[in-house]
Structures are given as C-alpha cells and as structure tokens.
Structure 1
C-alpha cells in the first residue's frame, strides 16, 4: 500500500490515526510516498506540466508509479477543506483510471473504528480487481494548433466578457459570450464536481456544459476560453479540470484556449494577432469606467431603470467600437459620458461601501446574488475594485521576477507593455476623471505598499490586492468594506483573517462574505446588519 499525501497528513501518526500500524496489523506493507522508487527521475508530461503545487506534482507522480506497478495500490490521505486537493483528487483519479484506490479525508472528528473498517473494505475490494496497468496518454485538442476557424465561447464572468469578445472578432476570431449563469448552470456544475472546488469552478463548468448541450453547438467548430495561471490560487487548475469534463462527455475534440497569466501571457494571447492584447486592454479599462459611472449614478436616479438602460447602451457601443479596431473609442466614450450626465438624480448623500475580494465572485452578479444592488437597496453606494487591477498586478509581479532573474528581454517586454497600457489607461481615464468621485486608479505598486504591513509582496495572489485595495478605499473615505469570496477560497481565507486587523486599525465596518450557491438568506441578513453599522459610521463621520 502506497501511503500518498502531504507529510503532515501521511507521515504524522497523530493526524492519520496511525494508519501505517493499522496496515501492518492487517498484513500489508505500507510505503510512504517519499520512499517510492524513481520519483525524482520521472519526467514532467502533460499531466504534470501545469501542476504548480510542489506536493501536487509528487502526488501525481506517485499515482503514475502506482498505476504502473501491479502490486502497488494507493491510499490517498487528505484533510477536510484542503484547497489544492479538491482539484488534485480529480487528476489523481484520472491517472489511476481502472485501478482502485482509497481516499481518506481526515479531520478532528475522525475515529479509529471508521478508518479500520474502510481499510478492511478496501483490501477486500482489491482482491478480485482487474487492473489496466498502462497509463493512457491524453490526446485532447489544443487551441494553439487546432483553434483557428473555431468559435470561441467566453465565460459570462462579468460584462467585460462582451467587450473582450469584440476584441476577438476584431482579430478575425469568431467569439460569443456564453449565456449568463443560472440555476441550470449550478445543476450541471454540481453534477460533475464534488462540491469541494471553488464556486467559480462549479459555475464555469456548468456554463460550459450548458453550452455543449445546445442543439446548435458544433464541436468541430468550437473552442472554450479559460485563462490559466501559475498559482498559488486554484484558478490555474480550472482549465485542466474542464478538460477532464469535456473528455468524459466525449468532446475531446473541443480545445480550451488557456493563456497562462505569467511571462507567457502576452505571447499566448498574440497567437490571435499582435493587436489583440492592446484592444483587449482598452476594452477592459473602458468597461471598468462605465461600471464606475453606473455605480456612481444608479443609486441616485429619479427614474428607476434609466441608468441601467444607459449602461447597456454604453456597453454595446464600446463593443461595436472595439470590433472596428477601436478607432472611434474615445469619441464613443465622450458620448457615453454625456448620456450618463443627462440622467436626472436625487440630491442626497449615501455612505460609500468598497467591494473587494476574489475577482470572479465580486464581479459576477449571479454568483454574488446581486451584491451591489443589495447594498444600494439598503441605502449605500458601491466602489468596486476594477478588473484591470488584476492585469496590472500580473504585469508588475512578472516584471519584478524578470528583474530578479536578470532576464533583460522579458524585462523590456513587460516595461513596454506597462508603458503602453498606462498610456491608454490614462487617456481613457481623462475622459471620466471629472465625473467620478473616486478619481484615477492608483498604480499597483501603491496598492501593494498599503498592504505591506499585513502581507508580504512575495505572497502572490488576490489576498494582497484585497487587503491593499480595502486600505485604499478606507483612505479615500468609504464607510465600510465588503470582502466577497468563494467558500473555502484559499486567498480569501487569508485576506478575511487579515481584514480583522485592518478593521481594528481603521475602526470602520468590514464584512467577509463567502458564497457557495447554497442559498443566501443568511448572507442577506448579515448584509442588512452590516449596512446598519455603515450608516451609523457615515452619520458619525458627517457630524464630526
């Protein structure tokens, strides 16, 4: 029996209820993962190359060795709520396909009797098991080699998806945003997941399955867009999991276009043509700014629904402009400003609430159960952390890495990319700056600096942005902050803990809200209580 897992689970007799001794008592030899032969000599293949967690690689290597030895059987020990294992388990199972294994999930409630019973049952089950010992190599279509001429389906994460699809079309690639997430999305997403994955993975899986089940879906002329990443967040594993699901459904001929958000990002985007990156960036910044105008105007509108109507028209106009290479984008944005300013508003003051957190949950209306509208209905106004912030952060992190590695070529590439993006961003912001109370977005370095007393820059991911942006909002006078995240989100759990320290220092209401799609009645009640505190804080600040 190969005992597979991280050392604090698999090698600690206190944590794993002395599983090694139990196996010996049952007449079986236990082999720890680190004692397996040829572990270090194994070459990275398709199953390992995108696995950025160190122990994730070891676990999957152990799965391959277990698969290829007739007398090896795996016992995979994990613990309740382990984020990486929620995905690694799927890949582990896929590698061992055809060979039984036992997974034990331990927590503080685990008991000796239950473990012994499961070990005995597992030993009985493998006595007559027929094993297919050869590991099958995956042969799925890749966008880089098979994608041209296909329609790309983009996840409906937020309204930026619509302007991004226009950038695809401007580069000669047919693109369509998938239907907005709904209860059917959740149904299909949960059917192919365990519930331990992050909520955005469940939704993106459900949206993809909902799309392939449409009558007009043509697998030979379709592809899915799902950006990748290099950790530590689980997001970078979504496209790998989606690949498993598509293959299981018989759609191994449908590629997934997954540009990696590291030094390869712009190279992989540019398989669509060199102008795509700039058009996509302009579309993101322009969409961020009309969203700010929406949130600045809607809470005060006299005619209900007028701001939403103007906003939808603005989104369509930006999309049309981007599709024509954005030649008239600045004229279009000036016209959009005029339409927003023409909306008649009430003369009243409202407390401002900053919304930060995991980018999918904070941006997606369905996943956060219309969080922003709820804050507005409870008497608040929202400042939402922009989508462009994440792209600027990715640029910054990889520029700094190239400086450390003294990689002059990549360093110059990122400097040039940042220079052009900042130039475009400032030009677009100039159109809006006199009409937004928040003002221009700060450089990403200042956000990181604000977070530095709480979290070090070397801890990469959204946690540092959530903390830094919260402090930026608080410095600009918000009356409260909502940190929205998926349930069990790893960066969200860390930022949520640090928010207590931020709240203590700034003496301003801050609430962590975790979404899992299981009902939001309790969340609505908590938000209502939070908004009561926000109004009290706003009142005291107004009287001071």
Structure 2
C-alpha cells in the first residue's frame, strides 16, 4: 500500500498574512504539511480585480489574485479569520484598558468574500485565530477541526492538541523575538543627530509588498537617506492619552497615528504614509496624520497607490519630498549651507515655501494650533441637541420624545443641494460623515444657535467599519470650518437613549415602532390608493399627532388607535405587484432625500416595497448579538441587555393588545445559523454587512414572495461593498436577485436601475 501523502497548503502573502505568512509556513511544515506561499506579484492584482465581486482597494484585489493562483497548485488554502489583534507589547490577550485593535472590515470578511469570488470556499481553511481583544485561546482547536476532514480523507493522523499547542507557542515566541530584533535594529540604524531620516508608515501589506509598493522604498534609498518602517519604533505610552489615538479602534490605522506622533516628537524623522486608493480606514487616518503634523509644522508625504501604472509618477513627488525634508531639517538647526552640500543629484537651491505647504507644512506665521475638541462626556441635557436625519419619520419622533424629556432636540434638515455642497468636505470617507457635519454647521447658522451651546448626537458603536471614527472626523470638520464651529461638541450616544433615562428608552421604542409603522403604511397603501396623495397626506397628519403627543408626554395608545381607525378608511384597489425588499446602510435606506425617493421610484416602476423597521432590524439581529456577548463572556452586559429587551417586548405586547395593531415579527431569527454556515461568517463578527445577511433571511421568512432585494448604499461604504461582493452567494441561497445602488452625493440619478429588474419580472408574470 502506498504511503498516505499530506495535502499541500497554500498561504497567501497579502492583507494581515503579509506579516504572518512565514510563521504559519513554519507552523504547518512542523506538523508535516508541505506549504506554498502566495506570489507577491503585481500581475495578480489584475486577476484579483477581475474576480472580486465589488470595486475594492488594491490589497483586497491582491489577496483574491493570490488565492485564485494558489487554488490551482495547492490542495487547500489557509485563509484564517483575524478579527482583532492582541494589544501590542503583551504576550497574552487581555481585556484590560480601553485599547482596541480591530482589523478592517475588508480584512475581517476576506475569508468570506474570497470564498465567494473564487468559488472555492470548500477548499479554504478558515479557522478563527484572533477573536475579540485578540483572544486566540481557541485557535488551535479551530485549526484542528479545520484539518480533521482533510486528514481523514487522506488517511493521515490528525495532529494532537499538545503538539499543535507546543508548535503554536514556538511560532508566537518567534514572532515576539522578531519584533524585538526589529526594535534593536532601529537603535543601531537610527540616524546621526545631524542627519534626517525617513519613517515609512502605512499598512505592512501595502508598504512592504513588492507587488503593491511600486518600488517606492527604493526611491528614498537612492538619495542616501536612512529609511525605516514604523514597526521598528517603540511608541511612548503617553501617546495613548492623545485624543486622536483614543478615537481609533483599528490595528493598522492606530500605528499610522503613532508614527505621526513619533515624527512630531523626533526632529530627525520625516514620515511618509503609503496607502491605497479606496482604503476606508486610511481615508480617516490620513486626515488625522496630516492634522498632527501640520500642528507641529512638520513636513510629511502621503502617497496613494492603486492597481495601475508604474513608479514613474511617484519619483517626482519623492524627489520633492526629500528636498523639503532636508531643507526643513537643516533650517531648524540654522544649517542651510549643509543641505546644499548633501542634496547630491538635486538642484542646489532651497525649497520654496509653497512646496513645503504642498507637502503638508503650513507657514509658521499662519499655522493654526487649535487643540482637538473633546467629545461631550455625558448626555448634554442643557444644550441644544442635533440628531442626524437618517429617517425623516423616526428622527422627528426621537427629537420630539427628547423635547418631552426637557431636552431641546431637533433633527437636522437635509436637501439634495446640501448633500452636493457637503461633498466639498469629503476626502474619501464614507460620505454620510461629511453630510452630517455640513448639515450641523448649516443648522447652527440658519437657526442662529450658539455653537458652544450645541451638541451633535452620534450613535455609539464599535464595528470594524468607519462609523466609530465619525465623531473625530466631524470634530475636525467643525474645527476647519472656524466661525466658532470648533466649539460645537459631538456626543457618542446610546441608540436606545438609555443614557437619558429608562423612560426615554421606552419612548425611543415607541418612536422607532411608530416611524416604522408609518413607513409601512406608505409602502402598503400608496401603490394601490384610489385617491392620489391620500397615503402621504394621512401619514403627514399622523406624524404631526405623534410629535405632539411625544412633546406633551401624552399616552400613545389613543394616537395609535386613531391611526388604525383612519387607515381603514383609505380607499385602495386590489392588485398584485412584485415585492421589492430594501436593506442596506443605516443612513441611506430610509432617507428619502439621500436615496432619491427610492421607495417612490420602485412604485413607479411597478413594484411594492417591503421595508424593515428598526424594531424588525433589532429582531433580526438580536439573537446574534446575544450569541456574541456570551462568546465574549460579557455576562453582565448580556444580563443587562436581556432585561432591557424583555421590558421592550412587554411594552410591544401590551401595545398590540390595547390597539389591535401588530408591530411585526417574533424576537428571534431562526435562520441565523444558516447564515453562519452558508456565508462563512461567524457569530463573533459584527457590523452592518453581518447584519445584512441576517436581515435578508428574516425578510424571506416574513415575505417568501419577495422578487428583488435592493441594497441602498453611500459611496465609500466598506460594509456595503462587502455585501455587494456577496450578491451571488445571496442569490444562490435565496433564489432572489440582489441589486446594489450606490449614491455618490453628486445628485446623479441612480434609481432607474430598478426598472429593468421589475420589467423582467412583469414579463414573466401571466
């Protein structure tokens, strides 16, 4: 009999595995598996971009291309799940402190989206290595279970737990020693006191990748400058007290901010940030990076790379940066003569002031050193509170409920013109952040408010996407706007307003429930109304009554009964239309201004819209939320939220009994495990794209006759792109096509995309 052979395992050298690929190679080889590393080559970007299901950044294209190639020569590809890195400098994961080190949205979901794109999910080994707080205590069990079926198929022994744990400890020790050696090397290589040096920063899978970095590192070397990477420095503990760094929840972006602080504090080092076009986290990090260095009057360089072109376009910018760095360095020590001698190969003249400014250094005479605004620590009961207007029904009701509790709250005003004007503030971030900031400024100005007595409320969330960075970015926009706007604070609030009072939590439930109910009245009545405009007029009047009741703290049951009675009197015809379910971005899906009246557009194209209220959204995702709390062993939080949920459920039951109106579905999602298994997601995961998969299956349970899903998304939204890349998998599971509509803030019409889908459906209908 022939000796059983071990299957060959491929390991990509991209994304988070750029740093860890060689360690994992040693790990699997120690267990007896032959290993092939991915080819870090630029031509794989083209392959990856072609098969990826959405327009991602270059590093995501790279990992798609590498995995596709590895699947052709390997039996399996190791593509583990990394959710959060351990706290740096600690051998063991810990929950101590507030430091969080999340990997970005794309990275967290790379095993899922690559599996869909390559159609090779069954040959991907996708164990969870780093969970919340970088916890890797279950990593070896996860890998062992991933290896079990392939070992059984080959007739080879499954590695024992003790051998795997021992091998993993050796791997972790080697990685720790490698980090120590880098820091020791930094001490040996640090520049002399009289010479400048380059501190490269950015994501290692971009900066250190030969397939991505365009040879930029070598360009600096040719000028004789010592060039070091940020993983060689030891950031000061005091940096953790800096406002910008405290706002960052991402692992790699935090290192960029630390590199900016380090360059600010060390005269010899000039930072160069190498990043990728369409990188969501870096679009925020770039702004903080610039702000830190401009306040310190320190030159810097930011280079953004993509899948196209060569290094030629970067050479001119690197040359100019080197000259600027040297001139600045020697000017600080009044040694301008020396810079001319050292600028070999460059024109022997000083760098003009405009070039320093272009590179990010304002003139000292005009540079602003405005300290960073700190967010409001407690709910601002004595200030005017502004709410982002993501849903004109719900937000009006929430503002009214807050006014009923003695808080001067108002929903922001939105218009197509404001959205277009707000785009002038956007430098690549998901566009709602710019719109919210701009609308807050305009509201303060038009209403004659005192910025110092005004606070913008923002949802508090710890997702892997960009939402946790909204407050910091908005504060920066306020600061740059001037005119006193820098005094306006941003408050990170609880979505159910438990930080106001338990009673306000109940009123928030009513606001979400009533807003959802009024929107459902529109979608269920308007397509079939016999008197055009009657549904809109009915909802407008009902909204006024609800607002008044909240403001005056009146009982809601009589109002709801009155709405139910009036609803029966709206004349409508019987007609069958294809059902179209809308889901997607929190800010967009129910925002009639931003999404260009998507509901009405679908109705005009012949469809009936199925909307998901925020209460139904909660019902679709709450099981997974509690699963995650238990997995993270956050038992106190689990008990607290269960208590709140039970109270809300009782209010809902009482409301239904007293009014005869149902507020929707049960408080569970029986199909969530189906989503875990089919899409390759994990209950430890979170974020809007995670919730999207759960909502879709919940919607199908309630509306099995849905004909089309429409994802409404803003431009530059990471979570929406992940969902878009999963469209084929969603359609294969549900049998329902998915259409993603992206609104870019320019006002260009987007909703006509639904017409062909509905026309095709109607053509099939007898």
TM-score, scaled relative to structure 1: 0.89
Note if contact 1:450-1:468 (Cα within 8 Å) is conserved in structure 2: no
Q: Contact conserved, 1:143 with 1:256, CA < 8 A, in 2?
A: yes
Partner of 2:746: 518
**Displacement after TM superposition at 1:387 (Å):** 2.2
Q: Of 12, 31, 48, which residue of structure 1 is paired with 2:209?
A: 12
Q: How does 1:8-407 map to 2 (within 5 A)?
A: 8-38=205-235, 42-97=239-294, 98-129=297-328, 138-140=371-373, 142-144=375-377, 147-158=380-391, 159-187=393-421, 189-194=422-427, 196-214=428-446, 216-250=448-482, 251-259=485-493, 269-325=497-553, 327-391=554-618, 399-407=626-634
Deviation string, structure 1 residues 168-189 (Cα, Å, up to 9, x no partner): 11221111122223313421x2
SS across alignment from 1:239:
helix
CA displacement, residues 305-329 of structure 1 (integer Å, 9 cap, x when unaligned): 111011011112222222233x521
Displacement, 1:459? Answer: 2.5
Q: Which of 62-71 and 145-154 deviates more? A: 145-154
Structure-2 separation of matches of 1:55 and 1:69: 21
Would the aligned equivalents of 2:628 and 2:684 in 1 still touch at CA under 8 Å?
Answer: no
- What CA distance in whole angstroms lies between the structure 2 residues aligned with 1:274 and 1:472? 29
- Return the alpha-carbon distance in structure 1 between the equivalents of residues 737 and 628 of structure 2: 36
How many Å apart are 1:504 and its aligned residue?
A: 2.8
Check 1:377–1:94 CA distance in 2 against 1; reply closer, same or farther (3 A cut).
same
Give the Cα–Cα distance (whole angstroms) in 1 for the partners of residues 661 and 405 of structure 2.
33
SS at the partner of 2:610? Answer: strand
What is the CA-CA distance between 1:44 and the residue it aligns to? 4.2
> Once the two structures are superposed, what CA deviation does each residue of 1:122-173 show, in whole Å capped at 9, x if it has no partner?
11223443678x9978452543369332111112211211010012112211
Q: What's 2:640 paired with?
A: 413
Q: Residue 527 of structure 1 corresponds to which residue in structure 2? A: 754
Q: Following the alignment from structure 1 to structure 2, what is the Cα–Cα distance between the partners of residues 127 and 393?
A: 58
Distance (Å, rounded) in 1 between the aligned partners of 2:271 and 2:618: 41
Deviations 1:390-431 (A, max 9, x none): 555776555444433444432221110111122223444567
Comparing 31-40 with 288-297, greater Cα deviation is found at 31-40
Deviations 1:336-392 (A, max 9, x none): 111122111122221111111112111111211111100001111101122234555
Q: Deviation per CA, 1:440-488, whole angstroms, max 9, x where unpaired? A: 2343543634532213332311112222222333342111111111223
The answer to whether the Cα contact below 8 Å between 1:95 and 1:135 also exists between their aligned partners in 2 is no
For the structure 1 residues 449 and 320, does the alpha-carbon distance in structure 2 shift closer, same or farther, using more than 3 Å as the test?
farther
1:238 deviation in Å? 1.2
Cα distance in 1 for partners of 2:668, 2:385 equals: 31
Higher alpha-carbon deviation: 405-414 or 89-98: 405-414
Task: Please give the secondary structure, in 2, of the residue aligned with 1:356.
Answer: strand
Offset from partner CA, 1:18-52 (integer Å, 9 cap, x none): 22222111111111110113367743432122211
**Cα distance in 2 for residues equivalent to 1:116 and 1:197:** 27
- Cα deviations across residues 101-133 of structure 1 (Å, max 9, x unaligned)? 11111111131111111100111223443678x
Deviations 1:190-239 (A, max 9, x none): 22221x11122232122122223326122233221122321212122111
Q: Which moved more, 1:480-489 or 1:377-386?
A: 480-489
* Conservation of the 8 A alpha-carbon contact between 1:228 and 1:237: no
Match of 2:670 among 433, 446, 457: 446
- Of the two, which has the highest radius of gyration? 2
Cα distance in 1, alignment partners of residues 693 and 660 from structure 2: 25
**Structure 1 Cα separation of the partners of residues 608 and 303 of structure 2:** 47
- CA distance, structure 2, for counterparts of residue 489 and residue 5 of structure 1: 21
Shift in CA distance, 119/169, structure 1 to aligned 2, threshold 3 Å? same
Tell which deviates more after alignment, 383-392 or 367-376: 383-392
Greater mean deviation of Cα atoms: 386-395 or 527-536: 386-395
CA contact (8 A) 1:355 1:481 kept: yes
Instruction: Select the residue among 645, 649, 668 that pairs with 1:422.
Output: 649
| CA apart distance, 1:292 | 1.0
Aligned pair in 2 of structure 1 residues 344, 389: CA closer, same or farther (>3 Å)?
Answer: closer
Distance in 1 between residues matched to 2:262 and 2:369, nearest whole Å: 13
Alpha-carbon distance change, 172 to 397 in structure 1, aligned in 2, over 3 angstroms = farther
Q: Which runs of 4+ in 1 moved over 6 A?
A: 134-137, 431-435
RMSD of aligned residue pairs (Cα, Å) = 2.6
**Contact preservation (8 Å) 1:479, 1:535:** no
Cα distance change on mapping 1:331 and 1:345 into 2, 3 Å? same
Mapped to 2, the partners of 1:141 and 1:20 lie a distance apart of 37
Asked if the contact 2:415/2:593 (under 8 Å) is kept, the reply is yes
User: Could you tell me whether the CA contact under 8 Å between 2:624 and 2:672 is conserved in 1?
Assistant: no
8 Å Cα contact 2:390-2:586 kept in structure 1: no
- Relative distance call for 1:432 and 1:95 in structure 2 (3 A) is farther
Question: SS in structure 2 opposite 1:104?
Answer: strand
5+ long unaligned stretches in structure 2? 1-197, 333-360
**CA shift for structure 1 position 507:** 3.2
Structure 2 vs 1, CA of residues 43 and 274 (structure 1 numbering), >3 Å: closer, same or farther? same
Most deviating of 391-400 and 498-507: 391-400
Unaligned runs of 5+ in 1: none
CA pair 181-534 structure 1, distance change in 2 beyond 3 A: same
Tell me the distance in 2 between the aligned counterparts of 1:450 and 1:71.
56
The DSSP-based 3-state class of the residue aligned with 2:282 is: helix
Say if 2:420 and 2:746, in contact at 8 Å, map to a contact too: no
Match of residue 471, structure 1, among 697, 706, 711: 697
- What secondary structure is seen at the aligned counterpart in 2 of 1:220? helix
TM-score by length of 2: 0.65
In 2 relative to 1, CA 470–402 (structure 1 residues): closer, same or farther, beyond 3 Å?
Answer: closer
Q: Structure 1 CA distance, aligned partners of 2:723 and 2:498?
A: 34
Cα 1:445/1:394, change in 2 over 3 Å: closer
Query: SS state of the match for residue 272, structure 1?
Result: coil
